Amino acid sequence: MVFDQQGFQTTSELWTGSLFRERGVEAILGAHVSKVEDGLIHYETLDGAAHTIGFDFAMLIPPFGGVPLKAFDADGADITAELFAPSGFMKVDADYTAKPYELWRAEDWPTTYAAPGYDNLWAVGIAFAPPHQISRPHKTANGTMIAPSPPRTGMPSGVMGKTVAMTIADRIKHGADVEAHTASMARMGAACVASAGAGLTRGSAAAMTMLPVVPDYQRYRTGRDERETRGELGLHGHWVKLMLHYLFLYKAKARPGWQFIPE
């Protein structure tokens, strides 16, 4: 991702790499973990070479997958493959036609999150099946896929949930024919604050905004709006994160005025 930091263009790769390096952590990108032993990680890099590295602390995020639900129609026929992608996520109004990276378009992304053929089923946030990845997928020399899953982080998930809730409310109030509300990840913007150190005076966080979440190379040179895609690191980020923490808990409890707090 290309973004603006204090008037200069930088990339998320450089940014995260230097954030880690400043804290004494070597960033290894384009790698696939094949096995984890006590204190030892085995991984493969894009050139197909096998490596090991020792660790004392690790958080491994496995490949994303949906809850393995089975679906049956009124006659008891198994319609799981019709409703869910092989990854377990629910198919919605996305364009799932398999095509190469060069042909991926903003229009492939869903807008209403309704399951095709069912006007009473929706899947938002982490639950919907994306049409494809967001970044260019890579394969190691041995054929192992290195393809990051499209993130459906807090803010886009909240916006999608609200959009579908409004569609459902409209249809309950005004009938099933009311047009659905829309919110495509290829149109919406999002903010993200990633902690890089705690403390009211010495804390730090990386605060980022991007528009749109899914890059659109037909509309924008770098895939995203260069004025709205920016990032800053500092104490202010920690204060923003702390403020959001209390605001979102307040909203989750539906206390007076909760609806004025954005997603």
Ligand X SMILES: Cc1cc2nc3c(=O)[nH]c(=O)nc-3n(C[C@H](O)[C@H](O)[C@H](O)COP(=O)(O)OP(=O)(O)OC[C@H]3O[C@@H](n4cnc5c(N)ncnc54)[C@H](O)[C@@H]3O)c2cc1C
* Distance of alpha carbon 167 from alpha carbon 173, whole angstroms: 10
The burial of 54, by beta-carbon neighbours within 10 Å (0-12 exposed, 13-18 middle, 19 or more buried), is given as exposed
User: Smallest gap, in angstroms, from Cβ of residue 160 to ligand X?
Assistant: 8
The two tokens of residue 84 are 């869910």
Nearer to ligand X, 144 or 153 (CB): 153
Judge whether 212 and 106 are in contact, CB under 8 Å.
yes
Candidates 121, 126, 146, 168: give the one binding ligand X (CB under 6 A). 126
x/- binding map, residues 136-175, to ligand X, per CB under 6 A? ----------------xxxx-x------------------
Nearer to ligand X, 17 or 125 (CB): 125
3-state secondary structure of 257: coil
x/- binding map, residues 57-96, to ligand X, per CB under 6 A? ----------x-----------------------------
- Residue 244 as a binder of ligand X (CB under 6 A): the answer is no
Beta-carbon count within 10 A of 77 CB: 9
3-state secondary structure of 26: coil
- Residue 125 as a binder of ligand X (CB under 6 A): the answer is yes
Nearer to ligand X, 152 or 224 (CB): 152
Q: Which of positions 95-124 make contact with ligand X (CB under 6 A)?
A: none
Nearer to ligand X, 64 or 250 (CB): 64
Residue closest to ligand X when measured from CB atoms = 125
Q: What is the DSSP string of 207-233?
A: EEEESSSS--TTT-TTSS-TTT-EEEE
Nearer to ligand X, 83 or 140 (CB): 83
- Residue 192 as a binder of ligand X (CB under 6 A): the answer is yes
Judge whether 32 and 142 are in contact, CB under 8 Å.
no
Nearer to ligand X, 123 or 186 (CB): 123
Chain center to CA of 208: 14
3-state secondary structure of 122: strand
Per CB under 6 A, residues contacting ligand X are 67, 125-127, 152-155, 157, 192, 194
